[in-house]
C-alpha cells in the first residue's frame, strides 16, 4: 500500500454510488436531483494531476453545478492524456510556468490545487492573484502562518478560498452532527478518532518533509483533528501529544510515524486520537454524550461510510463524496450557500493551528494552549 489514497480507495472499492442524495439540512444538494439543473455552473481547472486529482475529475463527470474545464501540470504527457480523456480545450491547459496566464482566461472560474502539501501556499497565492477562486486540498498548508497568508491573499483578491473537506458533505456524518446539535446525545463528553494505515513506498512525497511538511499527521491525522471539532461541536483549548517512531530509516527527522494526541474543550469534553503510518485497520470515530453515542467505522474513507448510534444503524445511501463536494462548493462560490460544517480557509487555518500545537507538544512534552 503506497499511500492514503490507496488505502481510502480500497475502502471504497465495493461502493456503488446511487443516483440520488437526500436533502441534508441547509446543505440541499442538487447533484443527484431528478429535475434538470439550469442554474450557474462553476468552471474548474485542476492543478496537479495525480491519483486523487483523477478521482476528483472522474467524480465531477456526474456534477450538475461544477464542470472540469481546465488542467495545470508540470508534466506535459499528463496534460495531453487529460485533454483526451476529459475533452479539455488546449486554451485551458497550462504548465506551472504559464499558469499565471490563467488570469486572462474568462472560461475558468476556479482552480482546485491538488499537489503535495508544501506547494499549496504558493499555488493558492498565484490563483488569487489571477483573480480565480481557489479550492485547496487538505491540509491547506504546512503551518498556520502559511495558511493565514493564503486566507488574506484570497480576501484581498476578493475570491473564495475553500478546502477539500469532503466529509463535511457526507450524509451519515451530517446526521451525527444533526443529532449532536439537536441535543439527542446530551452533553458531549468524549471523542475518539483513529486514523492510520501502513504506508509503503519509502521514496514517495508523503515521506519527504520538504514536500509533505511532516508525516502521518499531515496526511491521515488531519481527519481526526478536523473530526474532533465537528463531532464535539467546540474548538479545543489545549493539546498534549506523544510521538512513537520505530523505523528511523523510512521516517526520517521531521516525518512522524505515529502520534497520539489529546484535546481539551471548553465544556470539559476531551478527545483522544491516533495518527499513524505504521498500522492498518484504523478508520474509526466514536462520540460519547451523556444521553447517547455515535460510532463510524469506516469514518473517513471514500465509502461506503458505516455508522450507528444508540438509536440504531445509519442507513443513508452512499454517494460519491467528490461529486457532492464539488456541487456543494459550486453552490457556496456561485450562490453564497452556507454549508452545515464550514469548508472555508478559516476552517483550514484552525486545523493548522492544532497541527502546529501537536508538533510543539511532541517536542516539549508539555500541554500546549490553543487559541483558534
The set of catalytic residues is: 138, 223
If you ran DSSP here, which 8-state letter would residue 98 be given?
Answer: T
| Residues 6+ away with beta carbon under 8 Å from 6 | 200
Q: 286: helix, coil or strand?
A: strand
Residues with Cβ within 8 Å of 235's Cβ and at least 6 positions away in sequence, in order, are: 229, 265, 266, 350, 370, 372
Strand partners, 42: 66
Is the distance from CB of 134 to CB of 110 less than 8 angstroms?
yes
Alpha-carbon distance of 230 to 17, in angstroms, equals 25
Distance between CA atoms of 239 and 360, rounded to whole angstroms? 9
Q: Which three cell numbers stand for residue 84?
A: 483526451
* DSSP assigned state of 229: H
Strands of 66-72's sheet in order across: 93-94, 66-72, 42-47, 110-113, 133-136, 161-163
CB atoms within 10 A of CB 352: 26
Buried b (16+ CB within 10 A) or exposed e, 153-176: bbeebebbbbbbbbbbbbbbbbbb
Amino acid at each position: 500500500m503506497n499511500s492514503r489514497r490507496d488505502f481510502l480507495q480500497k475502502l471504497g472499492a465495493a461502493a456503488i454510488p446511487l443516483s440520488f442524495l437526500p436533502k441534508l439540512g441547509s446543505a440541499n444538494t442538487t447533484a443527484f436531483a431528478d429535475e434538470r439543473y439550469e442554474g450557474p455552473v462553476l468552471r474548474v481547472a485542476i492543478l496537479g494531476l495525480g491519483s486523487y486529482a483523477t478521482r476528483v475529475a472522474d467524480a465531477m463527470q456526474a456534477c450538475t453545478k461544477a464542470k472540469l474545464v481546465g488542467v495545470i501540470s508540470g508534466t506535459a504527457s499528463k496534460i495531453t492524456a487529460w485533454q483526451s480523456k476529459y475533452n479539455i480545450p488546449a486554451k485551458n491547459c497550462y504548465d506551472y510556468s504559464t499558469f499565471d496566464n490563467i488570469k486572462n482566461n474568462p472560461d475558468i472560474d476556479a482552480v482546485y490545487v491538488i499537489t503535495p502539501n508544501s506547494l499549496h501556499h504558493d499555488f493558492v497565492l498565484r490563483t488569487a492573484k489571477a483573480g480565480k477562486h481557489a479550492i485547496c486540498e487538505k491540509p491547506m498548508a504546512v503551518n498556520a502562518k502559511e495558511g493565514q497568508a493564503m486566507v488574506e491573499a484570497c480576501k484581498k483578491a476578493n475570491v473564495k478560498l475553500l478546502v477539500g473537506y469532503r466529509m463535511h458533505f457526507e450524509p451519515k456524518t451530517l446526521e451525527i452532527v444533526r443529532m449532536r446539535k439537536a441535543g439527542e446525545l446530551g452533553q458531549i463528553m468524549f471523542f475518539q478518532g483513529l486514523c492510520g494505515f501502513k504506508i509503503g513506498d519509502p521514496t514517495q512525497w508523503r515521506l519527504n518533509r520538504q514536500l509533505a511538511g511532516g508525516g502521518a499527521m499531515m496526511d491521515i491525522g488531519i481527519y481526526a483533528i478536523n473530526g474532533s471539532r465537528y463531532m464535539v461541536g467546540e474548538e479545543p483549548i489545549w493539546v498534549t501529544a506523544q510521538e512513537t517512531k520505530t523505523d528511523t530509516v523510512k521516517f526520517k527527522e521531521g516525518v512522524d510515524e505515529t502520534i497520539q494526541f489529546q484535546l481539551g474543550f471548553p465544556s470539559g469534553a476531551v478527545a483522544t486520537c491516533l495518527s499513524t503510518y505504521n498500522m492498518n485497520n484504523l478508520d474509526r470515530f466514536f462520540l460519547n454524550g451523556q444521553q447517547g453515542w455515535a460510532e463510524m467505522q469506516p469514518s473517513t474513507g471514500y465509502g461506503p461510510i458505516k455508522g450507528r448510534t444508540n438509536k440504531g444503524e445509519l442507513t443513508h445511501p452512499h454517494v460519491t463524496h467528490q461529486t457532492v463536494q464539488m456541487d456543494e462548493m459550486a453552490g457556496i462560490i456561485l450562490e453564497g450557500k452556507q454549508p452545515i460544517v464550514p469548508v472555508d480557509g478559516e476552517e483550514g487555518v484552525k486545523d493548522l493551528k492544532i497541527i502546529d500545537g501537536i508538533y510543539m507538544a511532541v517536542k516539549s512534552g508539555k500541554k500546549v494552549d490553543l487559541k483558534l
